Amino acid sequence: MNNPVEIPFWLLALLVILAAVAILDRLLMPSVRWYLRRRLNKVVERLNDRLQLHIQPFKLTRRKVMIDRLINDPAVMEAVIEHARTEEIPEEIARKTAERYAHEIVPSFSAATYFGFAIRVSRFISNAFYRVRLGFMDDEALRNVDPDSTVVFVMNHRSNMDYVLVTFLVAERSALSYAVGEWARVWPLQQLIRAMGAYFIRRKSRNPLYRRVLARYVQLATQGGVTQAIFPEGGLSRDGTLGEPKLGLLSYILGDFDPETSRDVVFIPVGLNYDRVLEDRVLTSAREDGKRRFRFQPLVFAGFTLKQIWLRLTGRFYRFGYACVSFGEPVSLKEFIASEDVEDMKSVTADLGERLIGEIAKVVPVLPVSLVSRVLLEADAPLSMLEIKARCNRHWQELAERGIYSHIPRADADYAVEVGLRMLTLRHLVQETGGMFAINPENQAVVSYYANAIVHHFADRDIINQ
């Protein structure tokens, strides 16, 4: 009975490892998790002290908990049953499908990643590529936004740089939760985007179960006061114009909204414009080819990045002109509904979409490249520098009289025209012959793209189809 028992060394080592894991899991890991959670809560408290729009507890909910809450939501469970019945599959399989959708959608926000990494990177990238300028902003109106409301920034979609630029510019006000398309679902980009609090959406999906899971996540986030950022146009503009509103996300936000009991939703219009959009040729060629979609191409992106690094190393790099962002007057959902003759929420959604697109259009800033492009497209013949300056000055005066913001570098209109022309000629979009400037016929679609960014500020729409 007291005889020693011999066991192989490898088995002893395995038992020791398993015992150590058990001790860590039962005794040490809860303490470590508690310590890390306490540190995180202190960091969030310090951030909330300086942020105008606080980080809400919903945003800090553990991802696994949020997924469980989402797939067990009564509306999602009802959709699971309906999906199982329609597809003639067991409910358990339908539930697994809903769980897969939830895993795809739900983010895993990290305050450290967002404020310690993403803000710094977005600031560096924005300033590396552009001269970033803040256009029109009504500080008083933004400060008066009810801190208990859910704030949703609604923006025109010019470039994938929009995410980076707006993240940087609102860093002192809030942490944004973006609705991001499928283009970003590539490793390791999707892990970073998810850690920043963004959620992925399949814009073209018509699957009722998927749409119900997505709708409930958006509604839960809205109820939880999460500050969001959405693009009402849905995707990037192919011709440069401000598109018609896509009502999917808006309909989700309004889906269970009760003006009497729900937290108010305040929409803040944001207008963006660039002297150079990184994807301009991709977008205009996609329009000419009739393509509705294009995918993120890592090799193309890597090639572009390496080229810019090489230009910097050889001293031949020029920043891509100005990038400007303006913020419009906040729109309260409760006030909007109160002012409408409401028959059903579907009509309210359509009216709200039109209102928000209109508010965004008002604050899209006029930049040198856009205005010079318009002037050249209006002309029937090549123009001299003096003629371009005179025509741009007339437009700037008309726009200023109507309260439309134009960014004029150094407050010098002549210099602004020279900046715009230099950008266009460096890229061979405009040709100079004997002191006369004309559009390069091979690149007229790209010039029209830039002119169309501000075409809604003018009475005519004749440039759109050029």
**410/407 Cα distance (integer angstroms):** 9
Query: 45-83 in b/e burial notation, b at 16+ Cβ within 10 A?
Result: eebeeebebbbbebbebeeeebbebbbebeebbebbeeb
- Which range, of 35-44, 82-91, 301-310, averages the lowest pLDDT? 35-44
Q: Judge if 433 and 375 occupy the same domain.
A: yes
* In a shared domain, residues 42 and 169: no
Let me know whether 127 and 250 are in one domain.
yes
- Do both 313 and 401 map to the same domain? no
- pLDDT of amino acid 464: 44
Q: In this predicted model, what pLDDT tens digit does every residue of 152-184 receive, in sequence order? A: 999 999 998 898 899 888 877 778 888 887 666
Regarding whether 292 and 258 lie in a shared domain, the answer is: yes
Task: Report the number of distinct structural domains present in the chain.
Answer: 3
Q: Which of 33, 50, 67 is the last residue of a domain?
A: 50
Q: Are 347 and 389 contained in the same domain? A: no
Q: What's 266's domain CATH number?
A: 3.40.1130.10
User: Could you tell me if 270 and 294 lie in one domain?
Assistant: yes
Q: DSSP of 296-362, one letter per residue?
A: --HHHHHHHHHHHHHHHHTT------EEEEEE---EEHHHHHHHS--S-HHHHHHHHHHHHHHHHHH
Task: Note whether 385 and 325 are same-domain residues.
Answer: no
Q: Which domain holds residue 23?
A: 9-50
Question: Is 379 part of a structural domain of the chain?
Answer: yes
pLDDT class of 333 with cuts at 50, 70, 90: very high
Q: How far apart are CA 444 and CA 452, in angstroms?
A: 12
Pair (128, 269) in one structural domain:
yes
Q: Are residues 333 and 237 in the same domain?
A: yes
Q: Which of 169-183, 250-264, 359-373 is modeled with the greatest confidence? A: 359-373
299 & 349 share domain: yes
Q: Residues 152, 229: contact at Cβ < 8 Å? A: yes
Other C-beta atoms lying within 10 Å of the C-beta of residue 282:
16
Pairwise CA distance, residues 183 & 165, whole Å: 18
Residue 465 falls inside a structural domain? no
Q: Is residue 283 part of a domain?
A: yes
CATH number at residue 385: 1.10.10.10
Instruction: Give pLDDT, residue 39.
Output: 55
Q: Is 340 inside a domain boundary?
A: yes
Same-domain check for residues 350 and 431? no
- 87, 199 Cβ separation under 8 angstroms: no
